[in-house]
């Protein structure tokens, strides 16, 4: 089955494009939400995302261990939307207590990403994955932020290598990096 990776900055239109593509595929959709509502502002964002997607889609809220949980949840869904890898990695950092141990975080994120890729290989659904591109700005001023940027960048590279199509969104416009143009 196919895999599409949608990259971009904050408010670039990634989630909207992912939902539009899932609707175009037709059939049942499994929406995998990785966000945790740690405060009121984040809870409001999560609620807005819920309201923006069709009510008949199945939602799976997962903070870590995506691959096995998606495999267990998949029934006859034609499309899986994962929104988003950026928050998934945030959850991994939080789980480990926000360490400044680059090797530990690199290993944890690689294992999570490889588990997701393995899940895709055995699934009979198309995957649409959303992730932020955080490596285009200035170099972060503290070690933890640099580690986060680096491991997210490497996770995006692994996913892009597996993906059939990769889009970069800027100001709501997509640029095709791999695969057919949209």
Could you give the residue numbers annotated as active site? 49
Q: What are phi and psi of 61, to 5 degrees?
A: -95, 115
C-alpha distances in angstroms, 27 versus 30, 71, 81, 122? 10, 18, 13, 19
Rounded Cα distance, 24 and 114, in Å: 28
Q: Where are the beta strands (DSSP E) in the chain?
A: 3-8, 29-33, 58-61, 79-83, 126-132, 165-170, 173-178
Rounded Cα distance, 166 and 181, in Å: 9
Nearest in space to 159 (alpha carbons), one of 178, 175, 180: 178
Q: Which tokens belong to 175?
A: 């640029």
For residue 143, with 0-12 CB atoms within 10 Å meaning exposed, 13-18 middle and 19 or more buried, which class applies? exposed
């Amino acid at each position: 089955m196919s895999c599409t990776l949608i990259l971009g900055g904050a408010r670039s239109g990634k989630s909207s494009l992912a939902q539009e593509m899932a609707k175009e595929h037709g059939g049942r959709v499994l929406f995998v939400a990785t966000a945790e509502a740690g405060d009121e502002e984040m809870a409001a964002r999560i609620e807005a995302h819920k309201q923006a997607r069709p009510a008949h889609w199945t939602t799976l809220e997962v903070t870590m261990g995506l691959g096995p949980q998606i495999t267990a949840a998949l029934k006859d869904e034609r499309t899986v939307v994962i929104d988003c890898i950026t928050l998934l990695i945030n959850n991994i950092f939080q789980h480990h207590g926000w360490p400044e141990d680059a090797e530990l975080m690199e290993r944890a994120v690689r294992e999570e990403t490889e588990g997701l890729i393995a899940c895709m290989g055995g699934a009979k659904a198309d995957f649409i994955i959303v992730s932020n591109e955080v490596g285009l700005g200035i170099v972060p001023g503290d070690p933890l932020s640099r580690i986060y940027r680096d491991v997210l960048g490497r996770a995006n590279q692994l996913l892009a290598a597996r993906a059939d199509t990769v889009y970069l969104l800027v100001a709501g416009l997509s640029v095709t990096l791999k695969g057919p143009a949209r």
